[in-house]
Amino acid sequence: MILTLTPNTAIDRVLILPRLIPNRTLRASAEDFSPTGKGVVAAVALADMGYAVTAMGFAAGIVGERLTQMVAAHGVCPRFNACEGETRVNVVIVGEADQSFTTITCESLRVTPTHEQALMQALEAALPSARCLVLGGSLPPGCSTSLYARAIALARRHQVFTILDASGDALRHALPAQPDWVKPNRDELAQIVQREVRDVAAAIAAAREVRARFGVNVLASLGEEGAVALTEQGVWRAWPVPVQPRNTAGAGDAMVGGLAAGLANQMPREETLRLSVAMATAAVLQLSTAGIDPADVARLRPLVRVERC
């Protein structure tokens, strides 16, 4: 079983427009609602692929109830802890003409130390049955910056692989806890090393620095340039399969799902990376932020080129 932990859950309302034009009344050509938060999106992708996955984290209010129902409809086992406030609703605006992508979000969950302790207790109870733990997304107001570090320590005690996919303070405070893997995108990788990451060579150099400083394996998602993975065994690069994207919001999270599946099932490194990129590519073909078509993954997976650098 794979576990995901998403402290700051949300629902995405995706609107498709020809383009985003200020000071105008615009009519969307399509609309979609999907559960989100990095770990939630990874969980949905895994469940769509047939893997057993449990999603944990915080959920609150009427929106939290709907989120729980939406996650369960994908085959995920939802075990969200209640807290105060309301689960967020993000507005995601996709411009078809220029492939622009705009997310409008507002914090609305409120977490107390009592809520956080209850979540940690629930996580510790679930870990003995898990093979991999995905920790994903931002931390809501009231949540301590040590939450991810504590979760990583618990997982290590139970010999469960950990994958961290976060940014900002959540990433900065969790890296010293040494998760097994970290999955930054280009901007997050640049944030860690405090310099621009302009190309694949710069990404590999930055990944080497991250591994040297924190002792973690790195899977860096680079958008149209694919992905690079770095471990103590070496460096691998995966090239993306060209597709016409509909919504790129969940691509990195689906990639994390592929990595979790590979670790949980002890796949060879090349096959893990190939699955991760195929799942990420399949994700951008969907209007929803969360969810993939296994048929797309099956079609794309043999087309993903992976080489050891």
* Catalytic residue chosen out of the listed positions 12, 32, 48, 253: 253
Q: Distance between CA 67 and CA 227 in Å, rounded?
A: 30
What's the CA angle centered on 274, arms 268 and 278, to 5 degrees?
145
Q: How far is CA 119 from the centre of its chain?
A: 19
Question: Does 12 participate in catalysis according to the annotation?
Answer: no
Task: Provide CB contacts within 8 A for 251, sequence distance 6+.
Answer: 221, 280, 281, 283, 284
Neighbours of 206 (CB within 10 A): 24
Burial class (CB in 10 A: 0-12, 13-18, 19+), 122: middle
CA distances from 176 to 11, 164, 179, 295 (A): 30, 12, 8, 39
Tokens 């309301």 appear where? 86
Q: How far is CA 105 from the centre of its chain?
A: 17
Under a CB-based contact definition with an 8 Å cutoff, are residues 227 and 221 in contact? yes
Q: Distance between CA 258 and CA 51 in Å, rounded?
A: 10
- List the structure tokens of 45: 């992708």
Neighbours of 284 (CB within 10 A): 19
- List the structure tokens of 157: 């005690």
Q: Distance between CA 246 and CA 145 in Å, rounded?
A: 34
Tokens 């929106």 appear where? 63
Burial class (CB in 10 A: 0-12, 13-18, 19+), 212: exposed
In the chain, what is the straight-line distance between the N-terminal and C-terminal CA atoms, in Å?
A: 32
> Among all residues, which ones are annotated catalytic?
253
